[in-house]
Amino acid sequence: MITPINAESLFQRMRGCHVVVVGDLMLDEYLWGAIARISPEAPVPVMHLHHAERSLGGAANVARNVASLGARVSAIGVVGADSTATLLLEELDRAGINRTGVLTDPGRRTTLKRRLMSLEHRQQVFRCDEETTNDVSPAVEKRLLALVREQVATAQVVICSDYLKGVLTKGILQETAAIACKYEIPLVTAPKDTRPEKYAGASVLMPNLHEFARLAGHRANGNETVWIDQAAWSLSEAYKFPTLLVTRGPDGMTLFERQNGNLMRQDISSSMHSVYDVTGAGDTALGVFALAIATGVERIQAAHIANVAAGIVVGKRGTACVTMEEILTAINGLSGTKTSQPNLSTPPFRRAIGV
């Protein structure tokens, strides 16, 4: 169990870590305005722009969350030769993130998620995305891997944040896993693809519940305890993932780990008190969890910290970050965990763990 005393010690160790984040870098833009009337051209509202806000999104938001906790962060990814790239790079600089690993590909568009926000209702009205989603070229892939080799040599953990925008190809993911293995450092991967073989080699696979079900080919319905256990077992057996951390929104997190030949399950209750905006909560959980295991703590302790961080960030608007002070304040409210072997329903699953 994490206490305020050992959490503070953990945060001190975090400041000495180097974290490499590889993935799809994005820029989030929020256009705030007042809706005054309906357009005479079509039955749609007319918004008068008041002000604009920008923040890092996708893998860039993961990097920002790690940097906000004092760690040294290197981002590796691809942007286009456009104005969005200029703004994104400025935001990386502002966050203190090393961007020497960010390549420019004139043939691609930098991912921009533009949201129209109502001042009256304090909520999103519309979203427009600009992006390129096809895989990066073999030449760019080769350059990215050279940067991964260079940066990982001094890192304590690698994060792969996949948003299916073309950077994390199967080749880049598998070679990054091999590089991390060579240096004996953990690789934490957040998947979006439905092909689990793409992520083989990750030390920790960290999907949300929907992504988890799709990866395992299960339908997320019925007895949740049973199908989650079955999905975890099938992924662990087929692709040798030693650790699976499933984020479950208001239901917290579930950690699966291989221990002495068994697959052990530990449930962590949600620490959410109020939910204002879930945007970026997964990025926060991913970054905080990876940074915690970079310090050498057990995965269950890292999951507790990440769970608390996610519970804080959903109470903020947009792609927000959490601070060490906020997490320490919330630690006192941590609930306990329940540890068990999975509740199984198929004979092969039962035999595999000896129950």
Residue 50 contacts residue 32 (beta carbons within 8 Å): yes
3-state secondary structure of 168: coil
Ordered alpha helix ranges (H), the chain: 4-14, 59-67, 83-94, 138-152, 170-182, 209-216, 224-239, 281-294, 299-313, 324-331, 347-352
Q: Single out the residue of 113, 145, 128, 141 nearest to residue 25, CA to CA.
A: 113
> Cα separation of 272 and 307, whole Å?
9
> Cα separation of 25 and 88, whole Å?
8
Strand pairing class (18-23; 72-79): parallel
> Cα separation of 277 and 85, whole Å?
26
* Measured CA distances, 329 to 166, 309, 325 (Å): 39, 11, 6
Catalytic residue annotation: 283
> Cα separation of 146 and 157, whole Å?
17
